Amino acid sequence: MRLTLFVCLIIGALINYAAGVDPTNFKTCEQSSFCRRSRKVQSSGSKYALIRGTLNTYTDSVTADLINKENHHQFTMKLEALVGSTFRLQIDEKQPLRPRYRVEHALKGKPETAQIRVLESDELTITSGSAKAVIQGDPFRIDFYENDVHVVSVNAKNWLYFEHLRQKAQAPAGEAADGGDGAQQEQQEQNSDAVQSPSEPIDEPGTWEENFKSHHDTKPYGPQAVALDFSFPAAEMLFGIPEHADSFALKSTSGTDPYRLYNLDVFEYIVDSKMALYGSVPVLYGHGPQRTAGVYWQNAAETWVDIYTTETNVVSSLVNFVSGSRKSTPPAAHFISESGIVDAFIMLGPKPIDVFKQYAALTGTHELPQLFSLGYHQSRWNYNDERDVTSVSAKFDEYNMPMDTMWLDIEYTDGKRYFTWDKFKFPEPLTMIKNLTELGRHLVVIIDPHIKRDNAYFFHQDCTENGYYVKTREGNDYEGWCWPGSASYPDFFNPVVRDYYASQYHLSKFKTVTEDVMIWNDMNEPSVFNGPEITAPKDLVHYGNWEHRDVHNLYGHMHLMGTFAGLQQRDPNQRPFILSRAHFAGSQRYSAIWTGDNMADWTHLQHSTKMCLTEAVAGFSFCGADVGGFFGNPDAELLERWYQTGAFLPFFRAHAHIDTKRREPWLFPERTRQIIKSALLKRYSYLPLWYTSFYELEQTGEPVIRPLLTHYPLDKEAFAIDNQLLVQQRLLVRPVMQQGVSKVDVYFPAIDDKKNGDYWYDVDTYQRQERAGYESIPVDENKIPVWQRGGSIVPRKERQRRSSKLMLNDPYTLVICLDRQGKAAGTLFLDDEKSYAYRDGKHIYVSYEFADNQLTNRFIGKPQYKSEAWIERIIIAGLGHVPTPATITVNGISQQLEVEQRNGAIVVRKPAVKMDVDFALKLNN
Instruction: Give the interface with ligand NAG as residue ranges (CB under 6 A).
Output: 386, 390, 428, 431-432, 435
119/394 with CB nearer ligand NAG? 394
Give the shortest CB-429-to-ligand NAG separation in angstroms.
Answer: 8
What would the 3-class secondary structure string for 277-315 be? CCEECCEEEEECCCCEEEEEECCCCCEEEEEECCCCCHH
Q: Where are the beta strands (DSSP E) in 506-621?
A: 518-521, 541-542, 546-547, 578-580, 583-584, 592-594
Q: How far is the CB of 91 from ligand NAG (least distance, A)?
A: 59
Nearer to ligand NAG, 25 or 390 (CB): 390
In the complex, what is the shortest distance from the CB of residue 372 to ligand NAG, in angstroms, rounded to a whole number? 19
Exactly one of 522, 601, 722, 810 is catalytic; name it: 522
Specify the 3-state DSSP secondary structure of 648.
coil
**Angle value at C-alpha 537, between 535 and 539, nearest 5 degrees:** 155
Tell the smallest beta-carbon distance from residue 396 to ligand NAG (Å).
Answer: 14
Radius of gyration of the chain measured on its C-alpha atoms: 28
Of the pair 60, 386, the CB lying nearest ligand NAG is at 386
Beta carbon of residue 88, minimum distance to ligand NAG (angstroms, whole number): 54
β-pairing verdict for 812-817 and 871-877: parallel
Provide the minimum distance between the beta carbon of 515 and ligand NAG in the complex, in angstroms, as a whole number.
Answer: 18
**DSSP per-residue codes, 715-728:** -GGGTT--S-EEET
Closer by beta carbon to ligand NAG, 431 or else 742: 431
Is residue 755 classed exposed, middle or buried when 0-12, 13-18 and 19+ CB atoms within 10 A define those classes?
middle
Q: Which of 217, 597, 601, 831 is catalytic?
A: 597
Are residues 756 and 715 in contact, defined by beta-carbon separation less than 8 angstroms? Answer: no
Q: Is the peptide bond before 885 cis (omega within 30 degrees of 0)?
A: yes
- Contact status, residue 567 vs residue 596, Cβ threshold 8 Å: no
Distance CA(417)–CA(414), nearest Å, equals 6
Q: Is 522 a catalytic residue?
A: yes
Nearer to ligand NAG, 441 or 641 (CB): 441
What lies within 8 Å, CB to CB, of 729 at 6+ separation is: 706, 710, 711, 789, 792
What is the spatial distance between Cα 541 and Cα 224, in angstroms, rounded to a whole number? Answer: 17
Burial class of residue 475, CB neighbours in 10 A (0-12, 13-18, 19+): exposed
Separation of alpha carbons 259 and 250, rounded Å:
9
Nearest residue (CB) to ligand NAG, 386 versus 522:
386
Taking the C-alpha atoms of residue 724 and residue 735, their distance in angstroms, rounded to an integer, is 7
Q: What is the DSSP letter of 490?
A: B
- CB-CB neighbours of 366 under 10 Å: 22
Nearer to ligand NAG, 392 or 751 (CB): 392
Give the nearer residue to ligand NAG in terms of CB position, either 98 or 511: 511
User: Residue 409 or residue 698: which is nearer to ligand NAG going by CB?
Assistant: 409
Nearest-angstrom CA–CA distance, 597 and 776: 33
Return d(Cα 628, Cα 167) in angstroms, integer: 53
Residue 475's contacts (CB-CB under 8 Å, 6 or more residues apart) are 541
- Assign residue 64 a region (left: φ > 0; alpha: ψ between -120 and 50; beta: otherwise): beta
Give me the least distance between CB of 432 and ligand NAG, in Å please. Answer: 4
The minimum distance between CB 442 and ligand NAG, in angstroms, equals 15
Cα 680 from chain centroid (whole Å)? 24
Which CB sits closer to ligand NAG, 386 or 525? Answer: 386
919, 922, 923, 925 alpha-carbon torsion, rounded to 10°:
170
Q: Which is nearer to ligand NAG, 150 or 802 (CB)?
A: 802
- On whether the CB atoms of residues 749 and 708 are closer than 8 A, the answer is yes
If the CB atoms of residues 392 and 879 are measured against ligand NAG, the closer one turns out to be 392
| d(C-alpha 736, C-alpha 361), whole Å | 35
CA dihedral 707, 710, 715, 720 (to 10 degrees): 30
Say if residue 753 is exposed, middle or buried (CB neighbours under 10 Å; 0-12, 13-18, 19+). Answer: exposed
| Cα angle value 776/683/648 (rounded, 5°) | 50
Side chain identity at 728, as an amino acid letter?
Q
**Is there a catalytic annotation at residue 272?**
no
Residues assigned a catalytic role: 522, 597
